[in-house]
């Protein structure tokens, strides 16, 4: 996507969204596979816009991603929830995958919360565990900032030393403690998909220091950080990565991922609600 085309795409999306919103959003939340029900927690000042009403936003093709933008107040905080995301493996370029992050930044969002269903790699991680992402390894093979730079959309060479905000991660662990909710640190490895990883790839990722593996999150985090937003990301472990299950012949399926996310994701919703409590979000 050319420089001016990308900027114009962001502006077109903003024009389609902004006039619906009674107040600027302060937090944006991207919901991963099977976690779309978290948007149902937004009741006050609720506004729903289908993706097909927003230029550049195509309806997702993956089950578990509704394809709706939900605005409203969550714990008194105006939030923008992306109920479904675009994936690189669907055939989208990374400019399309990260368009929602650029739109959020242009709308004035200061904190982007990313969520994802993931496979567990690290020893000790079990199905249903909730992790706070502390760092990532980009194995997709491309970077969303590649190409002609437009200073209106962020930095050319953003520092990636701390992609995921340490202060916000600290607050996330505080909120989890208040809920007596176990929360673990994790390094996220992003693979291109859509096939799940082979056992050899999982061994490679473990050797590189990855704790969980998925097919999203990292491009959005890079763009969000380059755009000046703080980033906080959570990974729900929905399955053991290939070759690590107790039954070596067990097949990993998307249906199983959605089922675990449905049953375990309520705790993630509780955590996000607690985190967005006015005690944590500055006025």
The residues that are catalytic are 33, 65, 87, 89-90, 117, 215-216, 239, 254
**DSSP-assigned letter for residue 8:** H
Q: Is the dihedral of CA 89, 90, 91, 96 positive or negative?
A: negative
Q: Cα–Cα distance between 72 and 276 in angstroms, integer? A: 13
270 sits in which H/E element: helix 254-275
Tokens 């969000």 belong to 224
Q: Cα–Cα distance between 96 and 58 in angstroms, integer? A: 9
Is the backbone of residue 47 left (phi > 0), alpha (psi -120 to 50) or beta?
Answer: beta
Which residue(s) pair with 112 in the sheet? 28, 231
Q: How many CA within 13 A on the CB side of residue 14?
A: 17
| Closest by Cα among 187, 98, 100 to 137 | 187
**Residues in the chain, how many?**
283
Question: How does DSSP assign 32-95, residue by residue?
Answer: -TT-GGGGGG--EEEEEEEGGGSTT-PPP-STT---EEEEEEETTEEEEEEES---GGGT--HH
């Amino acid at each position: 996507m050319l420089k001016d085309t990308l900027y114009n795409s962001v502006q077109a999306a903003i024009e389609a969204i902004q006039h619906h919103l009674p107040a600027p959003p302060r937090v944006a939340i991207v919901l991963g596979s099977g976690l779309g029900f978290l948007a149902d927690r937004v009741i006050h000042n609720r506004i729903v816009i289908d993706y097909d009403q927003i230029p550049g936003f195509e309806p997702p093709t993956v089950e578990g991603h509704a394809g709706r933008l939900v605005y409203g107040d969550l714990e008194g905080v105006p939030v923008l929830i992306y109920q479904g995301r675009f994936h690189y493996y669907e055939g989208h370029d990374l400019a399309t995958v990260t368009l929602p992050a650029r739109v959020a930044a242009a709308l004035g969002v200061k904190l982007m919360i990313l969520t994802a269903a993931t496979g567990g790699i690290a020893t000790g991680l079990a199905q249903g565990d909730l992790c706070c992402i502390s760092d990532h390894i980009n194995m997709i093979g491309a970077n969303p900032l590649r190409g002609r730079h437009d200073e209106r959309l962020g930095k050319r060479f953003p520092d990636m030393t701390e992609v995921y905000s340490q202060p916000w991660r600290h607050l996330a662990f505080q909120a989890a403690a208040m809920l007596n909710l176990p929360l673990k640190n994790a390094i996220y490895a992003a693979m291109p998909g859509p096939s799940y990883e082979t056992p050899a790839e999982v061994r490679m990722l473990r050797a590189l220091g990855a704790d969980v593996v998925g097919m999203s999150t990292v491009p959005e985090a890079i763009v969000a950080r380059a755009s000046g937003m703080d980033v906080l990301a959570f990974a729900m472990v929905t399955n053991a990565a290939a070759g690590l299950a107790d039954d070596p012949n067990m097949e990993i399926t998307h249906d199983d991922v959605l089922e675990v996310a449905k049953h375990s994701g309520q705790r993630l919703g509780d955590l996000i609600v607690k985190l967005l409590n006015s005690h944590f979000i500055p006025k």
